[in-house]
Amino acid sequence: MSGILYINKHMIVFIFQCFWYLLPAALGNHTASCGNRLWLPAALKKILARCAIPVDRGRQWRGKEIFGNNKTWRGLIVGVLAGVMAAGIQAFLFFNNDFFRNNTIVDYGAVNFVLLGALMGGGALAGDLVKSFIKRRLDKPSGSAWFPWDQLDWIAGAMILSSMAYVPPLKVAALTVPLYVLVHLCSDRVVCWMGMKKREEVN
């Protein structure tokens, strides 16, 4: 019985480690997609509103949108900043709390949190842009749900780009992908209930 309890405890800790590892990317992806529905000071929202310009600036390629009007510079900026802030909190906890120091896969003593957070947030949004480009080619409406690619795009983008600063063990990557597909599906419904996303945008 004690052996089973040890295995279960070990698995729970490992799941937490995988969840904690990619959290900056997840928060970057979610905050970017919420756009002007984020709870921010009015002055900051005004500044960000000026950046609510489509990344492709309305240009087309072969008669179709490149990314779509939903992909804006505001989203990119917010997503990257959210990734950096989340990684900063992780680094702070890593240096000041034994639990997080022992259960954080990334060694923030060797990895710069600003670089990692920016790569995670930026990578998540880069993956989303690639998926949006493909959706436009397939004539899928901008903002429409597309399972499982709505979940896999940002996960793959974040893990690939952030590998420039940190490469996780294979077993971590193998669990992180399905774990965050499930987390994404659940969190989408939460933000929809909170009014931060439209129901038609949720799988």
Tens digit of each residue's pLDDT (9 = 90 or more) over 53-76: 998 888 888 888 888 888 899 989
Instruction: Please report which confidence band the pLDDT of residue 199 belongs to, taking 50, 70 and 90 as the band edges.
Output: very low
Q: Which segment of 80-89, 101-110, 147-156 scores lowest on mean pLDDT?
A: 147-156
Residues 154-170: tens digit of each pLDDT: 999 999 999 999 999 99
Instruction: Please report which confidence band the pLDDT of residue 38 belongs to, taking 50, 70 and 90 as the band edges.
Output: low
Give CA–CA dist 61/108, Å, rounded. 42
Kindly report whether the global pTM for this prediction surpasses the value 0.95.
no
The pLDDT value recorded for residue 188 is 65
AA identity, residue 118: A
The pLDDT value recorded for residue 48 is 76
**What ranges do the domains of the chain cover?**
2-201
Q: Cβ distance 87 to 119 under 8 Å?
A: no
Only one residue has tokens 């597309």, namely 146
**pLDDT above 50: residue 8:** yes
Which residues have C-beta within 8 Å of that of residue 192, sequence separation ≥ 6?
A: 198, 199, 201, 202
- Could you say which DSSP state residue 35 is in? G
AA identity, residue 139: D
The pLDDT value recorded for residue 105 is 96
Q: Cβ distance 72 to 55 under 8 Å?
A: yes
Q: pLDDT: is 138 or 201 the higher one? A: 138
Which helix (H) or strand (E) segment is 65 a member of? strand 64-65
Mean pLDDT of 18-46: 81
Give CA–CA dist 135/143, Å, rounded. 10
Give CA–CA dist 119/54, Å, rounded. 21
Give CA–CA dist 38/165, Å, rounded. 29
